[in-house]
Amino acid sequence: MRSKRTDNHTWRKIKSALASTTAFVSAILVILPLGLVFFHLLINGISSVNWDFFTKLPAPVGEVGGGMANAIVGSLELLAIAGAIGIPVGVLGGVYLAEYGSARINSVLRFLADVLNGIPSITWGVVVYGLIVLRFKSFSALAGGLALALIMIPLILRTTEEVVLLVPNGYREAALALGVSRWKTIVHIVMKTASKGIITGILLALARVGGETAPLLFTAFGNRFWNHSLHEPIAALPLQIFTYAISPYDDWHRQAWAGALVLVTGIFCINVLVRFVTRDRGASVA
Amino acid sequence: MATPEQRVTERVEGAAQPPANSEPAPKLTFEAKNVSIWYGQKRAIEDISLNIISKAVTAIIGPSGCGKSTFLRALNRMHELTPKTRMEGTVLLHGEDLYSKTVDPAIVRRRVGMVFQKSNPFPTMTIGENVICGLRLNGVRNQKFLNERLEKSLRMAALWDEVKDDLHKPGTSLSGGQQQRLCIARALAVEPEVILMDEPCSALDPIATAKIEELIYELKAQYTIVTVTHNMQQAGRISDYTAFFYLGRLIEFGATTAIFTNPTERQTEDYITGRFG
C-alpha cells in the first residue's frame, strides 16, 4: 500500500518535470531564431558597418566602399510620409469605432479592418502602382509612403480602438457631468488616458512597415542617388538590401548584410522604445 | 373604481409636496412630472412625479434595481448616454424645462453637477488639474481665477488642508475617501446649482463615509443635494427629505423623520425595518 503510493508520487514528479522541460525547450525554440538572425547579421554585417556606410552613396559596381546614406534617409522619409497619412487616419478611425457609430456598422468596419490587416503587403504596392504611379507616370516617394500608410491604417485603427475601449466609462461620465462637450471629453480625457496605448500602436505599426520591401517595389522603386523631390523615386533600406542581396557581387552582398543589420537594429530600437513608453504603468491604462 | 396604480399615483401626488409645517412654501429646485424611462423594451422608472426642495438634502432609497439611479441621472440628462433610452414626462429646473429641444445637455450638466459611486479622478491629471479641469475644458484661461477657484473648491470639499502641498501629485495617489472628496471638489469648481450624488459612500470605509456625510451636511447651506443610497441609516442621518422607490415606482415621499418614524405605506415600512431589500 505504502510503496504503491510512493510510486504514484514519483510518477507524478516525472510527469511534472517532463511538462516543464517541454515548455522550457519550446520557449528556447521561440527565442532561438531571433538570436540566430541577429548573430548571423552581426558576423556578416558588422565589418561593413562603418562611417562611410552611414554617410556615403552606394559605390558603382567594381568600386570598393560606398554606403547606404540615401537609403537610410529615404526609409526615414518614407516613414514620415506614411506616418503623416496613416497616423491621423488610423487614430481618428479607431476613436470613431470606439466612441461613435452604430454597433452594426462598427462591427462591419472592424471586420473589414481585420481583412485589410491580413492582405499581403505586395498587394498594396500593386494598388498604389495602379492608382498613383500609372496616373502620374512616375515612381515616387509619395507613392511609396502612401503604400506604407495603407498598411499602417488598419493596424493603428484596431490598436487605437482597443485601447480607447479600455478607458473606463467612469472617466467619460465624470467629464460629461462637468458639462464638457462630447468631443472635448474624447480628446482631453479619453484619448489622453489611452495615449500610451495609442503611441505604442503607432510605434509598432512604424516598426512593421519600416521593414516592408514588397509594397515599395512598384512605388518608391529605389534610387542610387539622393532623392530631391517627393515626386521622384526614392531609395529605402529594405529595397537596397533586396537589390544588393540578389546581385552577383560579393561587395554588394557585404553591404546587404550591413544594411540588414542596421534595419533590424532600428526596428529593435523602436521596440525598446515601446517598452519604455509602456513601462510606467502607474498613471493611465493600457 | 380606481386601479391600484392610480391610487398609488394619487397618494404620491399628495405626498409629493412635503408636509407644510413651515409656513412659506419651500422653494423648489426640480419639479419632475410623470417621468418614465425605458432602456430598450425595459421600463426602468414609471410615472414618477417628485419635487426636490432647494438647499436641502433629498435622499432616494430603495432596493437595487428600483430605478433610483435612473431617476437621479434623468435630473442632469446623464441617462441619455445609455443607448436606446426613451423618456416621457417633464423635468423642470427652477421652472425651466431641461428637456426642451433648445437646451444643450452640456449646459444642463454644468448647472447640475454629479458625483459617482466609484471615485473617478482623471488618472492623467494632478490633484490641482483635476479640480479645475471642468473650467479649463469649458474654456476658462484666467490663471488667477483658476487658482482662486481651485482653493475655494478644495476648501468646500474639506480637502484643502490635506492636499494643499501636494497639488502637483496625481489625483489617483490619494486614498479612496480623499479621491471622492476630490471628485466633489471637481464638481463644485464649475459652480453648479445642484449636486447629484449616486451612492457616494458605498465604496468607502466608515471613517471616510463619515467625512463625506459631514461634508454633505455643510454643503446643503449653499447647494441643493440629491443623493441615492441604499444605506438607510445614512439616509436617516444626512437627508431632510426621503423618497422611497420600489420596482421603478415612487412609493412614498416626505420629510425624512416622517418616513422613518411613521411611514404611511406598508412597503416603505417593510423596507425600512429590513423585511426585504
Rounded to whole angstroms, how far apart are CA atoms A139 and A95?
33
Residue B132 lies in a domain: no
Q: Spell out the domain ranges in chain A.
A: 2-48, 52-57+67-279
Q: Which chain B residues touch A188 with a CB distance below 8 Å?
A: 133, 137
Tell me, what DSSP letter sits at residue B86?
E
The stretches of chain B forming alpha helices (DSSP H) are: 4-16, 68-74, 105-111, 127-137, 143-156, 160-163, 176-189, 206-219, 232-238, 256-261, 266-272
Instruction: Specify whether the CB–CB gap between B122 and B171 falls below 8 A.
Output: yes
Band of the pLDDT at B83, cuts 50, 70, 90?
Answer: confident
Q: Which of A103-107, B130-134, B145-149 has the lowest mean pLDDT?
A: A103-107
Distance from the A286 Cα atom to the nearest Cα atom in chain B, whole angstroms = 12
Band of the pLDDT at B1, cuts 50, 70, 90?
Answer: very low
Per the CB < 8 Å rule, is B186 touching A180? no
Per the CB < 8 Å rule, is A178 touching B186? yes
Distance from the B14 Cα atom to the nearest Cα atom in chain A, whole angstroms = 32
Residue B112 lies in a domain: yes
Per the CB < 8 Å rule, is A175 touching B170? no
B225 CB burial (10 A radius; 0-12, 13-18, 19+): buried
- Nearest residue of A to residue B118, measured between CA atoms: A170
The ipTM value here is 0.86
* Residue B127: closest CA among B165, B176, B80, B71: B165
State which H helix or E strand residue B250 sits in.
strand B249-255
State which H helix or E strand residue B44 sits in.
strand B42-53
Whole-number pLDDT of residue A5:
65
Provide the residue range defining the domain that includes B78.
4-15+24-120+195-272
Per the CB < 8 Å rule, is A179 touching B190? yes
Return the percentage of chain B with pLDDT > 90, whole number: 79
Distance from the A281 Cα atom to the nearest Cα atom in chain B, whole angstroms = 11
* Residue A210: closest CA among A273, A127, A281: A273
Q: Which chain B residues touch A185 with a CB distance below 8 Å?
A: 137
Of A184, A195, A282, the CB nearest to B137: A184
- Taking only the tens place, the pLDDT of each residue in A65-102 is 888 999 999 999 999 999 999 999 999 999 999 999 88
Per the CB < 8 Å rule, is A188 touching B109? no
Average model confidence (pLDDT) for chain A?
A: 91
- Nearest residue of B to residue A191, measured between CA atoms: B124
- Nearest residue of A to residue B197, measured between CA atoms: A177
Tally of CA atoms within 13 A in the half-sphere of A170 that contains its CB: 14
Size of interface A-B (CB pairs under 8 A): 77
- Nearest residue of B to residue A193, measured between CA atoms: B124
- Compute the CA torsion angle A194, A196, A201, A206 (nearest 10 deg): 140
Pick the CATH number of A52-57+67-279 from 3.20.20.80, 1.10.3720.10, 2.40.10.120, 3.40.50.2020: 1.10.3720.10
- Taking only the tens place, the pLDDT of each residue in A1-60 is 555 666 788 899 999 999 999 999 999 999 999 899 999 999 999 998 999 999 999 988
For A226, the 3-state DSSP assignment is: coil
- Nearest residue of B to residue A184, measured between CA atoms: B137
Whole-number pLDDT of residue B7:
42
Q: Which chain B residues touch A181 with a CB distance below 8 Å?
A: 106
Check which CATH number belongs to the domain holding B246 and give it.
3.40.50.300
* Structure-block grid coordinates of residue B103: 437646451
Per the CB < 8 Å rule, is A180 touching B138? yes
Per the CB < 8 Å rule, is B122 touching A171? yes
What is the amino acid identity at position B2?
A
- Taking only the tens place, the pLDDT of each residue in A220-253 is 999 989 988 899 999 999 999 999 999 999 889 9
Whole-number pLDDT of residue B21:
53
- Nearest residue of B to residue A168, measured between CA atoms: B120
Band of the pLDDT at A103, cuts 50, 70, 90?
Answer: confident
Distance from the A170 Cα atom to the nearest Cα atom in chain B, whole angstroms = 6
Domains: count for chain B:
1
Instruction: Specify whether the CB–CB gap between A161 and A99 falls below 8 A.
Output: no
